[in-house]
Amino acid sequence: MAWTIALPEVVLAAGVMVLLMLGVFRGNQSTGLVSTLASLLLVVVLVVSVTGQSGIAFEGLFVENGFTSFAKVLILVASAIAIVMATDYCRREDMQRFEYPILMLIATLGMMMIARGLALVLSTIETGTVKPIYFNDTPEFRQLTMLSFLDPIIKPIAPTFSVPNAVFIMFGAALVAAFILGKTVLGRYTVAIGSNEEATRLSGVNVANWKTAVYALGGVFSGLAGVMIASRLNSAQPALGVGYELDAIAAVVIGGTSLSGGEGTILGTIIGAFIISTLTNGLRIMNVPQEWQFVVTGVIVILAVYLDILRRRRS
């Protein structure tokens, strides 16, 4: 089967997981080795994700290591090369008859839990407790989202007013996504596949290839979101992001995106995100317990999906 092209990477990742769970790598002397394997595992998961076996937002996957800054840059470059090579392989190979061996939703949820668990395991190797990474030595990283490049213009007029760079990054990402969805072949095929996947396949479109591209693009935006959160908090925490997937689903559903596929806009998603954010902040101001916040979010998702079903039936 075509999915066996990723078998060596899967075996390697599984082997590293087993060794970590057995406690082979313990003590200060093995920190470098664990760091190397953790970074390698990240590249492996990225390759498997891009080849279409799963679509994961690397939620909470931040692990401290003993690398120098130069080594970290090399790891990032190697990761980028791996992504490009895997994507190019999928583009060149005949994937028209390819069938995913598992539902993408199940693969996504499974890999999310695996990555989240590994992040917690790797962050507790030395101290036995979860150890976040702080960026106190690199203040520029926090300035990436918290400062504003418009401050030199706005501050003389309104000293207390500021628009953080994170806002401009968000709108920039939204514009890019809107352009891709509305003005490119990838966007048109995405809507077509969501509307009727079988009809799109019978029309000659390489469905598996384009679905892989969609999941790879989703991984890029998820990575950008992770960087922005880490910059805002000035730290990377392995347990951060738990429950964010439900907020994301609620935002897109409230914004008019149909979970059945084939319908949705970027503007609607942005509006939905603002609604969820406003609701969440309001519940916190009212000192509503977090468990009840989850209940409210879940009810909103169910109601939004139900209303979407009613609307589609009437139309």
Residues 65-106: tens digit of each pLDDT: 444 455 555 556 666 676 666 666 655 555 545 566 567 777
Structure tokens at 186: 């990838």
Percent of the chain with pLDDT over 70: 65
Band of pLDDT at residue 244, cut at 50, 70 and 90: confident
Q: What does pTM read for this prediction?
A: 0.66
The residue with greater pLDDT, 101 or 131, is: 131
Q: How high is the pLDDT of residue 153?
A: 81
Residue with tokens 């668990």: 117
Band of pLDDT at residue 127, cut at 50, 70 and 90: low
Question: Is the pLDDT at 57 greater than 60, yes or no?
Answer: no
Task: For residues 122 and 25, give the distance between their C-alpha atoms in angstroms, rounded to a whole number.
Answer: 10
Band of pLDDT at residue 175, cut at 50, 70 and 90: very high
Identify the bridge partners of residue 235 per DSSP, sorted by sequence position: 134
Task: For residues 104 and 261, give the distance between their C-alpha atoms in angstroms, rounded to a whole number.
Answer: 14
Q: Which of 249, 212, 218 is nearest to 98 (CA)?
A: 212
Q: How high is the pLDDT of residue 76?
A: 63
Identify the bridge partners of residue 133 per DSSP, sorted by sequence position: 236
Band of pLDDT at residue 130, cut at 50, 70 and 90: low
Mean pLDDT rounded to a whole number for the chain: 71
Band of pLDDT at residue 179, cut at 50, 70 and 90: very high
Kindly report, residue by residue over 285-305, the tens digit of the pLDDT.
888 888 888 888 888 888 888
Is the alpha carbon torsion for 64, 19, 24, 240 positive or negative? Answer: positive
Q: How high is the pLDDT of residue 247?
A: 80
Kindly report, residue by residue over 268-283, the tens digit of the pLDDT.
888 888 888 888 888 8
Is the alpha carbon torsion for 125, 130, 135, 136 positive or negative? Answer: negative
Measure the CA dihedral 146/222/256/191, to 10°: 140
Average pLDDT over residues 170-183: 90
The residue with greater pLDDT, 5 or 130, is: 130
User: What is residue 235's three-state secondary structure?
Assistant: strand
Kindly report, residue by residue over 198-237, the tens digit of the pLDDT.
898 888 888 888 888 888 888 888 888 888 888 888 887 7
Average pLDDT over residues 239-249: 78
Structure tokens at 233: 């908090």
- The angle that helices 207-233 and 185-195 make with each other, rounded to 10 degrees, is 110
The residue with greater pLDDT, 308 or 56, is: 308
Task: For residues 314 and 195, give the distance between their C-alpha atoms in angstroms, rounded to a whole number.
Answer: 17
Kindly report, residue by residue over 134-170, the tens digit of the pLDDT.
777 777 777 788 888 787 787 778 777 778 888 888 8
The residue with greater pLDDT, 176 or 44, is: 176
Identify the bridge partners of residue 134 per DSSP, sorted by sequence position: 235
Q: How high is the pLDDT of residue 77?
A: 66
